[in-house]
Amino acid sequence: MIVNEQVAVDHGLKKDEYAKICELLKRTPNITELGIFSAMWNEHCSYKSSRLHLKKLPTKGKKVIQGPGENAGVIDIEDNDAIVFKIESHNHPSFIEPYQGAATGVGGIMRDVFTMGARPIANLNSIHFGSPQHKKTKNLLRGVVHGIGGYGNCMGVPTIAGQTSFDSSYNGNILVNAMTLGLVKKDKIFYSKAAGLNKPVIYVGSKTGRDGIHGASMASASFDEKIEEKKPTVQVGDPFTEKLLLEACLELMAGDSIIAIQDMGAAGLTSSSIEMSSKGNLGIEINLNKVPCREAKMTPYEIMLSESQERMLIVLENGKEDHAKKIFDKWNLDFAVIGKTTKSKKIELYFDEEKVADIPVDTLVENSPMYDRKWKKAKLPKKNKIKKEDIKHLKIIDVLKKILANPNVCSKEWIWQQYDHTVMGDTIQKPGGDAGVVRVHGTDKAVAASVDSSAVYCWAHPLTGGKQVVCESFRNLISVGAKPIAITNCLNFGSPENEENMGEFVECVQGIGEASEYLKFPIVSGNVSFYNQTKDKGIKPTPAIGGVGLIKNYKNMITMDFKEVDNLVLVIGKTEGHIDQSLFARNILDEKNGPPPEVNLFNEKNNGETMLKLIDNNLIKSAHDVSLGGIITAVAKMCIKGKKGININKPKYLINEIEYFFAEDQGRYIIEINKKDFKKVADILNRNAVHFDELGAITENELYISDKTKVTIDELSTSNKNWLNNYMNK
């Protein structure tokens, strides 16, 4: 096939990018080379629109062993233990083929983690769908949940937490973000940097097929009406093979045979081989006839661009080939020596004794395009004034029931019951709490993880929204008694070529950066997904933040269920009555304008750290962060979980009941304490200048407000549990 500008454009490259390729090579690339450039230079692999801004994020900290740039981030959790973790998107494929798209998303992120030598110990996910009324939503939700479960359950890794939301902006572009945590010994971490000359390059895992060719390019483009035609670009997952690959890799990693290892994810053999040689400042030579293929007559182009799953590339120490092969034979996996490292600093490919590609590695990596895209700064919207007559007729209990049954608040049990969340025998906090918690096997330590996003806030004001998501992650970890350590981010946005979408990205990233810097909650890994866009309409900006924290003794973990009648319930943090962009404003008043709640980083940090002091002193019996739906929603959920009631008296504030109960001011928690501890708790809070309200006391089984209105917890529980079940089973 003759390569020209049009062929390059068909590969998703821009005309000037093609010109740059010809200039760098000083000739016209052949079709295999063009395929390699298109795979490496697309948005998904090159981060060409985002790199400039991501550089500004805080990525360092005392506990950070490895920041962004590797397969996943690594943090220190003491005693020579480390946690490897990352979140990644699989949005485009999941919309086209929900089961396989979601399944391979989970498979891919687990591979990123065990590539580094860590055994995966927990999975999480953040999934976002269109309006429940949209004709595709139900099937997409079902397919995605089955896919996530199908892969994770088979791997035997518990899915411990997640987040699901519905918003019409995802009607044509759902989001599927998968996160994995792995456990590794600090001195047994593996990296992707190749080293040494003439070292054997090994291919292991599944055979290479024609599936997923151009997957990464597809993920770097907007959708249009021809989207269904892109089904063949979606990879097909085989969790059984991945389970074998996991065990085989960990077995090989127990020894000292591996110099570098890299999974074949997006852009398959292309990106893995280039990444390893680029990091090692080496060249790599591959004989493509040696690559195990699933189908006959695959061309070099297809072999290099296939995104078949469950494959790894390894640079071995010389002489270790037989030892390694034995292990992969035992696990019935393909093993092939396909090439070697060279000093050429080029990627050189041979097929049928002919050289089919010859590209300097730096042209693909360092010289890849980087854009300073135009972006538009968002204005802070004006506050709305709630009119008295709009809320006069509202009854708190009725509104509460509606909010508990709102698709974005309701119980997601239908979803997480389909995920094995108890395998590995260390899950001590199951899905449905503020964060999932797993013990570090055989120790007293536990690791908490949560994944959060607040697209509505980010849409209303990206800078504030970006800060808020990081704070919410911080709060969720603290609510289970964990000290927050670090985060991973999955940045889901519309087209970077649209100034408004690019502005959302830039300002969300700025907000994330500011909050993570202030809270000492650095970003150690992540992924950007642009072009979540159908025709010219982008999704609401949806940065998802995966937070990880440590509980030194798992017996001190906190859960959100109310524990004991007569215990006192306090609200930590000040309630100002911010209603704009709250669930109440958007869904009850149908008011979609206004600014999101303000984020005060000082309060956020101070309140959080004071909470940890209370927990260290064993003063907290249950805790929950206040988020969507405000104080009353948070309290109702604690009642439902604990099968207890509460007698609430609104503190004497200037704001009215509606504002007090439904406002979504930030930096707040609900806690349960023993009556006799009140003085101690109040002292600690006062000493640290943390505002708190006494909300009431726990009762048997009804929620009372100001002794006037009441509702049984069973009724609230029914409102909360039924929506999703009914929706899916209708």
Partner 1 sequence: MKSSVITFPGSNCDRDMDVALKKFGFKNKMVWHADAELPKSDLVVLPGGFSYGDYLRCGSMASKSKIMQSVINFANSGGMVMGICNGFQILVETGLVPGVLLRNKYLEFICKNVFVKINDKKNKYFKNVDNEVFEFHIAHNEGNYFCTNDQLKEIEDNNQIAINYCDENGKIEDQFNPNGSLKNIAGIFNKEKNVLGMMPHPERMIDTSLSGEDGSLFFKNLINNLK
Cite the active site residues: 44, 90
Residue among 56 and 146 whose Cβ is closer to partner 1:
146
Report d(CA 558, CA 624) in Å as an integer. Answer: 9
Q: Which is nearer to partner 1, 410 or 446 (CB)?
A: 446
Interface pick for partner 1 out of 428, 619, 682, 697 (rule CB under 8 A): 428
Determine which residue in the list 26, 332, 354, 392 makes contact with partner 1, applying CB under 8 A: 332
Q: How far is the CB of 97 from partner 1 (least distance, A)?
A: 19
The answer to whether residue 627 forms part of the interface with partner 1 (CB under 8 A) is no
Which one, 240 or 602, has the nearer CB to partner 1?
A: 240
Pick the stretch among 153-161, 298-306, 371-379, 608-616 that binds partner 1 (CB under 8 A). Answer: 153-161
Q: Which of 238, 275, 604, 665 binds partner 1 (CB under 8 A)?
A: 238
Distance CA 214, CA 207 (A): 17
Say whether residue 439 binds partner 1 (CB under 8 A): yes
Question: How many whole angstroms separate alpha carbon 26 and alpha carbon 711?
Answer: 76
Single out the residue of 31, 52, 423, 619 in contact with partner 1 (rule: CB under 8 A): 423
Among 299, 367, 384, 418, binds partner 1 (CB under 8 A): 418
From 154-162, 515-523, 562-570, 692-700, give the range in contact with partner 1 by CB under 8 A: 154-162
Q: Is 427 in the site for partner 1 (CB under 8 A)?
A: yes
Residue 664: CB atoms within 10 Å = 28
For the chain, how far is it from start to end, CA to CA, in angstroms? 52
Q: Which is nearer to partner 1, 243 or 637 (CB)?
A: 243
Q: Least distance to partner 1 from the beta carbon of 149, Å?
A: 5
For residue 452, the minimal CB distance to partner 1 (Å) is 23
Q: Which stretch binds partner 1 (CB under 8 A): 256-264, 413-421, 508-516, 646-654?
A: 413-421
Strands 692-699 and 702-705: unpaired
CB of 240 to partner 1, least distance (A): 3
Tell me which stretch binds partner 1 (CB under 8 A): 148-156, 662-670, 679-687, 713-721.
148-156
CB of 401 to partner 1, least distance (A): 25
Neighbours of 423 (CB within 10 A): 15
Query: What residues does 313 pair with on adjacent strands?
Result: 203, 262
Q: Which residue has the tokens 């200037």?
A: 654
Stretch in the footprint of partner 1 (CB under 8 A) among 84-92, 143-151, 315-323, 615-623 = 143-151
Name residue 671's amino acid: I
Q: How far is the CB of 166 from partner 1 (least distance, A)?
A: 20
Question: Min. distance of Cβ 159 from partner 1 in angstroms?
Answer: 9
Choices 152-160, 402-410, 449-457, 526-534 (CB under 8 A): range interacting with partner 1: 152-160
Q: Can you name the residues that pair with 179 across neighbouring β-strands?
A: 87, 124
In angstroms, what CA-CA distances link 617 with 614, 649, 678? 5, 27, 13
The 94-133 contact track toward partner 1, x by CB under 8 A, reads: ----------------------------------------
236 touching partner 1, by CB under 8 A: no
Is position 447 an interface residue for partner 1 (rule: CB under 8 A)?
A: no
The yes or no reply on residue 421 touching partner 1 (CB under 8 A) is: yes
Which of 419, 521, 562, 584 touches partner 1 (CB under 8 A)? Answer: 419
In angstroms, how far apart are the furthest CA atoms of the chain?
86
- From the CB of 456, what's the least distance to partner 1, in Å? 30
Question: Contact, 588 vs 404, CB < 8 A?
Answer: no
Residues 119 and 158: beta-carbon distance below 8 Å: no
Minimum CB separation from partner 1 for residue 645, in Å? 22
Nearer to partner 1, 133 or 422 (CB): 422
Backbone angles phi, psi at 695, to 5 degrees: -95, -35
Separation between Cα atoms, residue 546 and residue 126, nearest integer Å:
9
> Across the strands, what pairs with 181?
85, 122
Backbone angles phi and psi of 540, in degrees to 5: -65, 140
Which residue's CB is nearer to partner 1, number 159 or number 468?
Answer: 159
Does residue 149 belong to the site contacting partner 1 (CB under 8 A)? Answer: yes
Sheet of 645-648, strands arranged across: 622-625, 669-673, 568-572, 692-699, 645-648, 702-705, 709-712
Complete DSSP assignment for 660-708: HHH---SS-EEEEE-GGGHHHHHHHHHHTT--EEEEEEEESSEEEETTT
CB-based contact 489:444 (threshold 8 Å): no
CB of 107 to partner 1, least distance (A): 13
Q: Count other C-beta atoms under 10 Å from residue 584's C-beta.
A: 30
CB of 428 to partner 1, least distance (A): 5
Task: Reduce the secondary structure of 6-64 to three states and give it as a string.
Answer: HHHHHCCCCHHHHHHHHHHHCCCCCHHHHHHHHHHHCHHHHCCCCHHHHCCCCCCCCCE
Query: How near is the Cβ of 154 to partner 1 at its closest, in Å?
Result: 4
| 424 part of the interface to partner 1, by CB under 8 A | yes
Task: Using CB under 8 A, pick the residue from 5, 15, 156, 701 that binds partner 1.
Answer: 156
Residue from 33, 275, 285, 420 that binds partner 1 (CB under 8 A)?
A: 420
Nearest to 399 by CA among 391, 388, 411, 407: 391
How many helices (H) does the chain have, and how many strands (E)? Answer: 26, 28
> Per-residue contact track with partner 1, 239 to 278, x per CB under 8 A?
xxx-xx----------------------------------
Binding mask 487-516 for partner 1 (x = CB under 8 A): ------------------------------
Query: Site residues for partner 1, window 643-682 (CB under 8 A)?
Result: none
Where do the DSSP E strands lie in 251-402?
258-263, 283-287, 311-316, 334-342, 346-351, 354-360
Cβ neighbours around 722 below 10 Å, total: 14
Pick between residue 209 and residue 239 the one whose CB is nearest to partner 1: 239
Write the DSSP assignment of 188-252 as a string of letters.
G-------STTPEEEEEESPB-STTTTHHHHTTS-B-TTGGGGGGGS----HHHHHHHHHHHHHH
Binding mask 367-406 for partner 1 (x = CB under 8 A): ----------------------------------------
Contact between 460 and partner 1 (CB under 8 A)? no
The residue length of the chain stands at 730
To the nearest 10°, report the CA torsion of 435, 439, 444, 449.
Answer: -30
Site string for partner 1, 544-583 (x = CB under 8 A): ----------xx----------------------------
- 487 DSSP β-pair partners: 523, 547
Number of residues that bind partner 1 (CB under 8 A): 31
Give yes or no for residue 425 binding partner 1 (CB under 8 A): yes
Out of 32, 104, 153, 180, which residue is the one contacting partner 1 (CB under 8 A)? Answer: 153
Distance of alpha carbon 175 from alpha carbon 81, whole angstroms: 32
Residue 162 or 577 having the CB closest to partner 1: 162
Told to check if 725 binds partner 1 by CB under 8 A, we report no
CB of 417 to partner 1, least distance (A): 6
Could you tell me the sign of the dihedral formed by the alpha carbons of 721, 471, 473, 111, in that order?
positive
**Tokens, residue 371:** 């854009």
Q: Is 417 in the site for partner 1 (CB under 8 A)?
A: yes
> Does 692 interact with partner 1 (rule: CB under 8 A)?
no
Query: From the list 154, 364, 386, 391, which residue makes contact with partner 1 (rule: CB under 8 A)?
Result: 154
**Binding-site ranges for partner 1 (CB under 8 A):** 146, 149-150, 153-156, 238-241, 243-244, 331-332, 416-428, 439, 554-555
